């Protein structure tokens, strides 16, 4: 056992007063002498699989090591598996490429695993270091759910503001049409992909049937669920607005194409008889009229003008112009 070594991202023991004690053990156990123990790992660390296999139930270890997950909340072997998603706020990343956080929660233990940095967890770590740690597991879960939802909501509101700007440009004839509609729609789709199932996971957690919650944690989670619901409604509305903007742009493009096609059709209609006439006079056969006349070209040119004017008058009569 002494040969084993792993470096958790965070490792704390929290007492019932919210005071934290840093765990320095190179191979920490899954038991805490205090109210609860929080072990946070980078799931890509080579030693993590061995640690999870040794200290956790098989199903829990498998859930923490899965390559891809969707948000869900389930009871497994006397504990709880909670998978959630957060917006990707890491440098150089797209916020809509939501990152996964997996948790195994059992009596007195929280094991969390991630691949990319989760800012909501960093915020909890900062509170712990400042001496304001969540006093129990229910408070920890409520704080995590709130932190993830708050950041998703902020991204959703920024997306709505970008949609407002695109909408103004789309319906303003004096400005250039928006070019970011496909990007905004893709962002909305990616966010909705995980935010909606996350609402179901939060509802299962907030019900108190999967993990026992006190009244404070229940109220906190209820507020989080309400904010998550508003975010879903905002994303749905944004998606509908973007679809309407795209329809408006498609209609404008179709109108311009139809107008241009109409103009070309009128021009072609005017020049069709003129093309026939000039083609007829261009054949090299005997008996062509006006061949020896000095006024031949002028007569043909005036005839073409007259025919063109007649065609235009005919189009007016037929209401094609």
pLDDT digits (tens, 9 = 90+) for 146-194: 999 999 999 999 999 999 998 888 887 777 778 889 999 999 999 999 9
Digit-coded pLDDT (tens) for 237-278: 999 999 999 888 888 888 888 888 888 888 888 888 888 878
- Same domain, yes or no, for 51 and 143? yes
- Same domain, yes or no, for 138 and 287? no
- Same domain, yes or no, for 247 and 302? no
Structural domain that includes position 192? 10-252
- Same domain, yes or no, for 43 and 176? yes
- Same domain, yes or no, for 20 and 111? yes
- Same domain, yes or no, for 180 and 297? no
Mean pLDDT within 122-129: 95
Count of domains in the chain? 2
**pTM of the complete model:** 0.81
Distance CA 130, CA 126 (A): 6
Digit-coded pLDDT (tens) for 79-109: 999 999 999 999 999 999 999 999 999 989 9
Residue 146 lies inside a defined structural domain of this protein: yes
What pairing do the DSSP bridges indicate for beta strands 10-14 and 20-22? antiparallel
Distance CA 201, CA 228 (A): 11
Q: What is the CATH number of the domain that holds 24?
A: 3.30.460.20
- Same domain, yes or no, for 17 and 129? yes
Residue 3's pLDDT band (cuts 50, 70, 90): low
Residue 108 lies inside a defined structural domain of this protein: yes
Distance CA 245, CA 251 (A): 10
Residue 260 lies inside a defined structural domain of this protein: no
β-strand partners of 100: 85
- Same domain, yes or no, for 307 and 217? no
Distance CA 306, CA 167 (A): 50
Beta-carbon contacts of residue 13 (< 8 Å; ≥ 6 apart):
20, 21, 23, 32, 33, 34, 36, 37
């Amino acid at each position: 056992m002494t040969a084993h070594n792993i470096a958790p991202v965070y490792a704390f023991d929290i007492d019932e007063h919210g005071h934290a004690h840093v765990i320095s053990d190179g191979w920490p156990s899954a038991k805490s002498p205090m109210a609860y123990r929080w072990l946070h790992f980078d799931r890509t660390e080579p030693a993590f699989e061995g640690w999870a296999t040794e200290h956790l139930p098989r199903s829990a270890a498998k859930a923490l090591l899965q390559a891809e997950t969707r948000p869900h909340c389930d009871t497994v072997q006397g504990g709880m598996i909670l998978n959630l998603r957060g917006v990707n706020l890491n440098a150089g990343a797209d916020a809509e490429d939501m990152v996964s956080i997996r948790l195994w929660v059992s009596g007195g233990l929280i094991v969390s695993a991630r691949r990319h940095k989760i800012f909501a967890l960093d915020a909890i770590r900062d509170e712990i270091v400042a001496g304001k740690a969540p006093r129990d597991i229910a408070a920890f879960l409520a704080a995590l759910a709130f932190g993830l939802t708050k950041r998703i909501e902020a991204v959703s509101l920024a997306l709505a503001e970008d949609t407002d700007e695109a909408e103004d440009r789309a319906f303003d004839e004096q400005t250039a049409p928006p070019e970011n509609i496909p990007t905004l729609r893709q962002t909305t789709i990616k966010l909705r992909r995980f935010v909606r199932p996350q609402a179901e996971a939060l509802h299962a957690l907030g019900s108190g049937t999967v993990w026992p919650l006190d009244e404070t944690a229940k109220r906190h989670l209820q507020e989080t669920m309400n904010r998550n619901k508003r975010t879903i409604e905002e994303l749905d509305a944004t998606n509908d607005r973007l679809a309407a903007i795209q329809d408006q742009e498609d209609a404008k493009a179709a109108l311009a194409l139809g107008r241009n096609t109409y103009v070309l059709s009128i021009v072609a209609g005017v020049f069709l008889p003129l093309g026939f006439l000039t083609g007829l006079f261009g054949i090299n056969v005997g008996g062509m009229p006006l061949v020896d006349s000095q006024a031949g070209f002028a007569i043909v040119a005036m005839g073409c003008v007259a025919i063109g004017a007649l065609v235009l008058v005919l189009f007016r009569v037929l209401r094609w112009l």
